[in-house]
Amino acid sequence: MWYLCVFYHRLLDYRKAEVESLAHLFGVLEDGSALQWKLPQHHHPDSPFHFVYLPSEDVARNIANRSILVKGIYELWGEGSSYEELEEAIRSYPDERKLPYLAAESTFKITVDSFGKVISFQEQNDRIQGLTYIPFKGRVNLKNPEHKFWLIETDDYGSNNGLPPVVQKRIFFGREVGAADRKLLPTYQLKSRTYLGPTAMDAEMAFLMANQALATAGKLVYDPFVGTGSILVAAAHFGAMTMGADIDIRVVRDGRGPDCNVWSNFKQYHLPMPISLLRADNNLTPWRPGLKEVFDAIICDPPYGVRAGGRKSGGRKLLKGVISPYTVPDDKRTDHIPSTAAYSLAECVHDLLDVAAKMLVMGGRLVYFYPVLREDDSTETHFPEHPCFKLIATCEQILSLRYSRVLLTMVKIGPYTEEIAETARLKHLEFKENHLKWLEEGNLHAAVFSSADPQLGDAGDSKSSKDSKPKYRGKYV
Partner 1 sequence: MFALRGRRNPSLHRPIIEDLEKKIQKIHLRVLFSQGTEMRLLTHNMLSSNIKGVTNGFPLRVEVEKMVEKQVDFNADFLKNMFTKIEWKALFDAAQTMGYTDLPAEAESSMLDSDEFLKKFHHALLELHLEEGALICPETGRRFPVNKGIPNMLLHEDEV
Contact set with partner 1 (CB under 8 A): 217-218, 220, 241, 243, 247, 249, 252-254, 257-259, 261-264, 267, 272-281, 284-291, 293-294, 313-315, 318, 325-328, 333-334, 336, 338-340
Q: What are phi and psi for residue 328, nearest 5 degrees?
A: -75, 125
Query: Which residue, 54 or 220, has its beta carbon nearer to partner 1?
Result: 220
In the complex, least distance from residue 287 CB atom to partner 1, rounded to whole angstroms: 6
Q: What is the CA radius of gyration of the chain?
A: 26
Residues near 180 by Cβ (< 8 Å), separated by ≥ 6? Answer: 8, 64, 65, 67, 68, 69, 70, 71
Let me know: does 371 contact 444? Beta carbons within 8 Å: yes
How far apart CA 187 and CA 299 sit, in angstroms, is: 21
Q: Are 240 and 365 in contact (CB under 8 A)?
A: no
* Closer Cβ to partner 1, 52 or 359, answer by number: 359
Q: Are 200 and 227 in contact (CB under 8 A)?
A: yes
Q: What are phi and psi of 71, to 5 degrees?
A: -70, -35
Nearer to partner 1, 219 or 405 (CB): 219
User: Least distance in Å: CB of 36 to partner 1?
Assistant: 32
Residue 192 vs 276, nearer CB to partner 1: 276
**Smallest distance from partner 1 to CB 290, Å:** 8
Q: How many angstroms separate the CA atoms of 433 and 421, rounded?
A: 19
Q: Report the Cα 474 to chain-centroid distance in Å.
A: 17
Pick 309 or 314: Cβ nearer partner 1: 314
Give the separation between CA 165 and CA 343, rounded to whole angstroms: 46
Q: How far apart are CA 63 and CA 7, in angstroms?
A: 13
Min CB(271)–partner 1 separation in Å:
11
Give the CB-side neighbour count of residue 435, counting CA atoms within 13 A: 19
User: Which one, 124 or 313, has the nearer CB to partner 1?
Assistant: 313
Q: How many CB atoms lie within 10 A of CB 240?
A: 24
Give 236 or 393: the residue with its C-beta nearer to partner 1.
236
In whole angstroms, how close is the CB of 307 to partner 1 at the nearest point?
Answer: 23
Smallest separation (angstroms) from partner 1 to the CB of 430: 16
CB 86 within 8 A of CB 124: no
Instruction: Report the residue number, 190 or 318, with the smaller CB distance to partner 1.
Output: 318
Which of 325/457 has CB closer to partner 1? Answer: 325
How many Å from the N-terminal Cα to the C-terminal Cα in the chain? Answer: 30
Q: Which residue from 373, 344, 358 is spatially nearest to 295, judged by alpha carbons?
A: 358
Question: Nearest 5°: CA angle at 245, between 243 and 250?
Answer: 125
- Give the nearest distance from C-beta 186 to partner 1 in angstroms: 25
- The CB-of-97 to partner 1 minimum distance in angstroms stands at 38
Least distance in angstroms from the C-beta of 392 to partner 1: 23
Cross-strand bridge partners of residue 373: 403
Of 318 and 477, nearer to partner 1 (C-beta) is: 318
Minimum CB distance to partner 1, residue 429 (Å): 12
